[in-house]
Amino acid sequence: MRGPRVYLLLAGAAFRAEFQYRGNLFINIIGGLFYQGVGLAFIWAVLDRFGQVGGWGLGEIAFLYGMRLTAHGLWVLPGHQLIHVDEVVIEGEYDRYLVRPVSPLVQLLTRRVRLSSLGDLAGGSALLVIASASAPVDWSPGAVCFLLLAVVGGALVEGSLQLAASALVFRMKRVSPIKFAIDMIFSDFGNYPLKIFGPVAGFALTFVFPLAFVAYLPATVLMDRGEELAVPEWLAWGAPGIGVVLMYAAYRFWERQSRYYESSGH
């Protein structure tokens, strides 16, 4: 229990430091909400013109979008500092992490807290709640529990890919382009039913790049559209567990790759 406790203490200190500039924080949160609102407005314009996309209407795609965005906000709030791993390694800041009695990864994640990510989380959560009223889902207690688990699992899937990409910094020094590409794939493909991209892309975005497990697969079974799945339905119901497995694998990969760290003075 020491690791989680230390993380919460350091994250709390970073939170208090960030909250000192409340005006800037408020502007950043509003900016995050506006940015995500533009993406939703584009989807609304497309559906207003064509009616449906891949047989999915506005309510269904809004539900999918809400799941994806909530999962994104849930991972990026604690994991945003992975964006800065290049500079932490190149400038030698990582040296200090190695001589302290706390996990270097925990120190990296808590060097700052980007509270503007609350805009993504708040916007996604609000959209998910609103869209849930119109989405064709039988809201039993089991369905609500699965939705919550699926959102957490989706956050773990996205976070695991970013963590694995960040681990390559110990060999490559600069991995920002890889992480940016991962973020773009989630933003460009994660808000639509994967069936519209064709079977080859659907397979790749499920088993090569596991985007489907973030929102598409769990949203599809929740809305009882299992007949359009290209994978067994049990795999879609197991999406939250996939997130746990991928995050564990990414963490082990980080630990293994960190052995190749060389101080900036060498």
Kindly write down the DSSP assignment for every residue of 235-259, as one continuous string. HHHTHHHHHHHHHHHHHHHHHHHGG
In the predicted structure, residue 216 carries a pLDDT above the cut 90? yes
What was the pLDDT predicted at 192?
86
> What digits encode the pLDDT tens for the residues 1-15?
466 777 677 766 667
Mean pLDDT of all residues belonging to the chain = 85
What was the pLDDT predicted at 2?
62
In the predicted structure, residue 232 carries a pLDDT above the cut 70? yes
> What digits encode the pLDDT tens for the residues 130-154?
888 888 888 999 999 999 999 999 9
Of the ranges 50-54, 188-192, 194-198, 220-224, which is most confident? 220-224
Burial of residue 107, with CB atoms counted within 10 A of its CB: 0-12 exposed, 13-18 middle, 19 or more buried: buried
Compute φ and ψ for 56, nearest 5 degrees.
-100, 130
Chain length of the chain? 266
In the predicted structure, residue 29 carries a pLDDT above the cut 90? no
Q: Show the tokens assigned to 213.
A: 């497990």
